[in-house]
């Protein structure tokens, strides 16, 4: 059986960039996880439908992109509950959750448990938000050890807080490169909930 890797995309969906990433995945028959901002999901229900129709996974990211460590517990509770209600409106009951900036607190973990959500971090960070070229990002990933079974790779299919780039074209290009490497290394890109790796 092939080992799996998880390509993950935060902050979308985006009307321009999410379809391009979905097209890149489709060309290789690959799947991924999109950790969505709930308001963007509501604004783009067709993109949520496209993600699901392609066999990829929709996970919850946030309503407001604020570190949980900077919010009282009540605000984290409200963000999650509002986000899940919004996602339910577009037919999504997520099993995966990635907190904004990957920052988890005791409240985050307790809420995940009570809502039957698995929290996901990453072990390979592309830093695509900085605007580096795809080849440079790939070289940086190689320096982190390259692709291995069980890897969870962080990318973004929309412009979120702190982004230093004007678009996600290099993330689309990096996706193509990673899919080619995965195929040549007998690694199967999957959604995090179907990933054989143990990282979370």
Residues marked as catalytic: 10, 156
| Cα angle, residue 7 at apex, residues 155 and 180 outer, rounded to 5° | 105
Residue 45: φ, ψ to 5°: -60, -30
How far apart, in whole angstroms, are the C-alpha atoms of residue 200 and residue 119? 6
How far apart, in whole angstroms, are the C-alpha atoms of residue 157 and residue 150? 21
> Taking the CB of residue 200, how many other CB atoms lie within 10 A of it?
13
N- to C-terminal Cα distance for the chain?
A: 21
Of 37, 43, 86, whose CA–CA distance to 63 is shortest?
A: 37
* Residue 100 CA to its chain's centroid (Å): 11
How far apart, in whole angstroms, are the C-alpha atoms of residue 57 and residue 55? 7
């Amino acid at each position: 059986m092939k080992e799996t890797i998880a390509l993950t995309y935060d902050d979308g969906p985006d009307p321009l960039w999410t379809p391009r990433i979905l097209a890149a995945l489709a060309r290789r028959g690959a799947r991924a996880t999109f950790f969505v901002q709930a308001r963007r999901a509501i604004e783009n229900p067709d993109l949520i439908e496209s993600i699901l129709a392609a066999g990829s996974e929709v996970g919850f990211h946030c309503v407001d992109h604020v570190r949980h460590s900077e919010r009282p517990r009540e605000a984290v509770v409200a963000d999650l509950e509002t986000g899940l209600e919004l996602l339910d409106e577009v037919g999504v009951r997520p099993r995966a959750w990635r907190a904004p900036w990957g920052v988890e607190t005791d409240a985050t973990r307790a809420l995940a448990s009570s809502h039957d959500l698995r929290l996901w971090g990453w072990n390979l960070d592309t830093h695509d938000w900085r605007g580096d070229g795809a080849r440079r990002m790939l070289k940086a990933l190689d320096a982190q050890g390259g692709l291995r079974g069980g890897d969870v790779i962080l990318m973004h299919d929309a412009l979120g807080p702190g982004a230093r780039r004007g678009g996600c074209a290099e993330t689309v290009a990096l996706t193509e490169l990673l899919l080619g490497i995965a195929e040549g290394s007998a690694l199967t890109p999957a959604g995090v909930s179907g990933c054989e790796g143990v990282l979370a």
